[in-house]
Chain A
Amino acid sequence: MRRITGYALVGFFAALIGAGLALDEFRTVLANAITICLSCIGIG
């Protein structure tokens, strides 16, 4: 039962990644990651 739950979760989260990529979230993550966010590191 636990193993089935594990596989179901793998499928669910793989689908979430797919949905996120379809919504162009990779580009958004990349845009945030290549910008120095001063407030994020406690500056400003």
Chain B
Amino acid sequence: MPHLGRRRWAQIVSAVALNLYVPALFTGSIVQARSKGVCVPVLNCYSCPSAVAACPIGSLQHAFASIRFRISAGELQLGLYALGAVGLVAAFVGRFPCGWFCPFGLFQELVNKIPSRKFRIPRGLNYLKYVLLALTVFVLPALVLDAAGYGDTWFCKWICPAGTLEAGLPLVAANSGVRSQIGLLFVWKVVLLLLFLAWMVVSMRPFCRTICPLGALLGLFNRVSLLRLTVDSVRCTSCEKCDSVCPMELDVRRESNSVECIRCLKCVKSCEAGCIGYEHPLVRRDAPQHR
């Protein structure tokens, strides 16, 4: 059995814990537990039959899609709870959940283990996720409305490959009622998923780096969050091992608190000179020794 590090175990435990009710995968229905009202700061589609918590990006889209209708009905609901849940975690630890707890992040890392030639992702594509966050999560759901005054969940509907993988495909497989309603939109989503799967094989975490609106939102807080990476440039030997292990292809010494860093801490572990550490009010690691 291969040795699994702490981070991999955390990813596996998180993926299992967030999708605890496995029997639902075979019944074509989704879990009805009260825990599904809890927004967790990782991308785990709540329409996945076995999911036991809520995706904050789905919740935010629903909140903004119904904002006009609710206001006209005298109901003040602005998505504060979902936004607060993401922001609170982001203020504490930045993008740490992406590196340690996101089931779709784990999935991408495992797919990337398939042997193949690997390619870097052009840095310009990193900005796409901010455009998608603004447009498909906030602006379009709130502004493009149907006759009843409801908007659409644009990101989930047109883009999210995690939703197709975790919810669309299992529901189509197990629920004949859902299967009978498949149309061109679903074909588009499956094609998009396949394209992402191919990209995951040849590049590390392409979805996190170019598309994920939750990663974009969490990453905005990396520079001010309570969890920070520290680099002792005096002790640094410029061996560049940290850069070679970084799944986000960052120049770790210059971008240790960049919006792209997912706080996987691989660089901390890889640094033989022990010059990369992290600090947080609850835990601190100044000079890790090479293991």
Contacts and interface: CB of A to CB of B under 8 A. Distances in A.
Given A25-B79, A25-B81, A29-B37, A40 B87 contact: no
Contacts of B225: 6, 9
Contacts of A2: 223-224, 228
B181 A38 contact: yes
A44 B181 contact: yes
Sort chain B's interface into a size bin.
35 or more
Given A9-B221, A26-B37, A42-B164, A34 B32 contact: yes
Interface in A6-22: 6-7, 9-10, 12-21
Main secondary structure, interface of B, reads helix
A14 B88 CA distance: 6
B81 A6 contact: no
Contacts of B46: 32-33
Contacts of B79: 20, 25
Interface stretch (B11-19, B99-107, B184-192, B231-239): B184-192
B152 to A, nearest CB: 7
B76 interface: yes
A22 B33 CA distance: 21
B226 A10 contact: yes
A9 to B, nearest CB: 4
Interface bin, chain A: 35 or more
B221 A41 contact: no
Contacts of A17: 80-81, 84-85, 88
A29 B178 contact: no
Contact of B182 (A25, A34, A37, A43): A43
Contact of A6 (B181, B185, B224): B224
A42 B167 CA distance: 10
B156 interface: yes
A18 B63 CA distance: 16
A13 to B, nearest CB: 4
B31 A42 contact: no
B157 A30 contact: no
Contact of B88 (A10, A19, A26, A43): A10
Contacts of A13: 83-88, 90-91
A23 B76 contact: yes
Nearest to A21: B81
Contacts of B185: 42-44
Contacts of B82: 20, 25, 29
Contacts of A15: 84
B63 A28 contact: yes
Contacts of A30: 34, 36-37, 54
Contacts of B91: 6, 9-10, 12-13
Contact of A43 (B39, B186, B224): B186
Contacts of A37: 47, 58, 62, 153, 156
18 contacts: A9-B91, A10-B88, A13-B85, A13-B87, A14-B88, A16-B81, A16-B84, A17-B81, A19-B80, A19-B81, A36-B47, A37-B47, A39-B152, A42-B157, A42-B163, A42-B186, A44-B181, A44-B183
